Amino acid sequence: MKTYLPSVNPLLLLGIGLAIVLGGILWLRLHPFLSLILGAFAVGGLTSIDNIQKSLAAKYEGDNFRKAVSSEVKTEITNLKQDGQPFDEAQIREQVRAKLKEAQTPFIKAANERATTESKQNLLQRITGAFGTTCGKIGILIAMACVIGRCMLASGAAERIVRAALSVVGIKGAPVAFCCSSFLLGIPVFFDSLFLLAIPLVKATWLKIKKNYVLFVVALVAGGTMTHSLVPPTPGPLFVAEELGVNLGTMILAGMAIGVFCSASGLAYAYWINNRMDIPLRETPEALKKLEELADRDLNELPSLGLALLPILLPVALISGVTIYKSGLDPTITIHPILNLLGDKNIALTLAAALAMLLAASRLKDRKALADHVQQAMMEGGLIILICCAGGAFGAMLQQSGIGPHISGMMGSEPLDFALLPLAFVVTAVIRGAQGSATVAMFTAVAIVGSLVTDLEALSFHPVFLAVAIGCGSKPFPWMNDSGFWVISKMSGMTEKETLKALTPMATIMGLTGIIVTMIAAKLFS
């Protein structure tokens, strides 16, 4: 299965790959995993050995260069500290980069040797290698996130958080409560599950005041859908962060900060559209009776708020806290092994999953019920991991095709910099609108956008802003090809026309708000 083809235009390969992925999902109704893996085989099989070698050489040259810069900076700072001289880390890093740029022969030679060896691998080896690499990066994280989400639903922890928010702000502040609680719950709980959990509470709240149903529903979506695209460990932002080499703690902090602005704009739209749409609660008398019972449910049946929040806050605190702590240290200081271990993303998520399981076990009082919930989480996680790994394989094949340098060459001799942010947003938005899935759009877009720059550290802004731009691009234009669209429509009781009117403009506004805030932040913190 080796490729001995003449060089094929990378843009043509990109078109073929996207046609297979999008056509497979939309026309043939294939599972995203199958569409992505077929796209990977097509692109990889049509890429010449020459293009593979050149693409891999450029990638490894950049990797070697970054490692050398970090090592040299650490050495320089150590020497200056020993001599008792003051130093500016940013200035030293820039000087080291300039010095090493002038003498890149060792990096080029080592990169070419490795690239030559790997380019001789057959197609199956290259695809399975990329598949396995992606699984190694995010497999455990996704599995643990699924366990956390499922156990929080089973224990009543998620419901407790929503009801606590409602109790603080009261009925008048219910839209804010739904938006904020769904924003928080959207970190460990996938959006579809979150909406299914919270919509009965939305309906129960409506029963008390008999108005503002659209406001409640849209506010709920405004919060949960943003963390789904911006804050790990949900699959999309997790995958993008790993592909761009962004620290997970940094991604969590940036995603939450920018997500607040996005959700606020979505909430503002919810108030606006509520004054223009009057939709009643369309439920049977039997269903209304059950909703009333839910609204009157005793809080003693649910875990305490502190315990309910712990599976969410623990991994965020550990990962982000260690990231912040490390950022305040100079490169020569070695962080304590235990603290470094606890701040590891896999360990932090595993500890949170263990806590969520213990909480569910204390509430369910039935080991079989707990086992069923965990098994269901594993089944969900398995499917998501398969999609993520197939996306990683597809992305690797696109990168090996030489698409990045080809597009960069078409845009001129000047390297892309700030323009990458709006470009990433547009590319992701187009793919999202075409095939419906925000997650698949992010998987595909990061492969294209990531190929356009060989050295992320050379950008004038932190790579986290590029990751967030891709996440914001996954929001615009949700319609009938999006599974989330149908979940919202059917569970809320809104018609397709009503859902389009309420949902699509709001998601588009949130995405546009996000890219604007991201670009401003990238300028301010560059």
Q: Using an 8 Å Cβ cutoff, are 454 and 504 in contact? A: no
Position with higher pLDDT, 296 vs 518: 518
Q: What is the dihedral of CA 103, 105, 110, 111, to 10 degrees?
A: 90
Q: What is the DSSP letter of 120?
A: T
pLDDT, tens digit, 9 for 90 and up, residues 502-526? 999 999 999 999 999 999 999 998 7
**pLDDT given at position 226:** 93
Q: Please state which of the ranges 123-132, 139-148, 404-413 shows the lowest mean pLDDT.
A: 404-413
Q: Is the peptide bond before 422 cis (omega within 30 degrees of 0)?
A: no
Nearest to 235 by CA among 348, 370, 380: 380
Report whether 472 contacts 255 (CB < 8 A).
no
218-251: pLDDT as tens digits: 999 999 999 999 999 888 899 999 889 898 889 9
Classified as helix, coil or strand, 238 is helix
CA distance 188 to 238: 12
pTM passes above 0.85: no
Q: Taking a C-beta distance cutoff of 8 angstroms, is the pair 302, 159 a contact?
A: yes
Q: E strands of 168-293, at which residues?
A: none
Phi and psi at residue 413, to the nearest 5° = -75, -25
The arithmetic mean of pLDDT across residues 145-163, rounded, is: 87
Percent of the chain past pLDDT 90, that is, above it, reads 33
Contact between 442 and 229 under an 8 Å Cβ cutoff? The reply is yes
The whole-number pLDDT of residue 412 equals 56
Phi and psi torsions of 281, nearest 5°:
-80, 115
pLDDT at 4 over 90: no
Q: Give the total residue count for the chain.
A: 526
Paired tokens of 252: 């969590």
Q: How far apart are CA 291 and CA 310, in angstroms?
A: 28
Structural tokens at position 451: 């190929």
- Cβ within 8 Å of residue 472, ≥6 positions away: 229, 230, 258, 262, 425, 428, 510, 511, 512, 514, 515, 518
Residue 73 to residues 61, 67, 79, 236, 336, Cα–Cα distance (Å): 18, 10, 10, 33, 21
**What pLDDT is recorded for position 442?**
92
The Cα 476–Cα 480 span in angstroms is 13
pLDDT band at 14; cut points 50, 70, 90: confident
Q: Does the structure show a pLDDT above 70 at 333? A: no
Average pLDDT over residues 14-20: 89
Domain residue limits, the chain: 137-399
| Residue 46 near residue 5, CB atoms below 8 Å | yes
Ranges 57-71, 84-98, 284-298, 482-496: which has the least confidence: 284-298
Residue among 347, 267, 358 nearest 310 (CA): 358
Query: 320 vs 347, which has greater pLDDT?
Result: 347
Residue with tokens 């097509």: 42
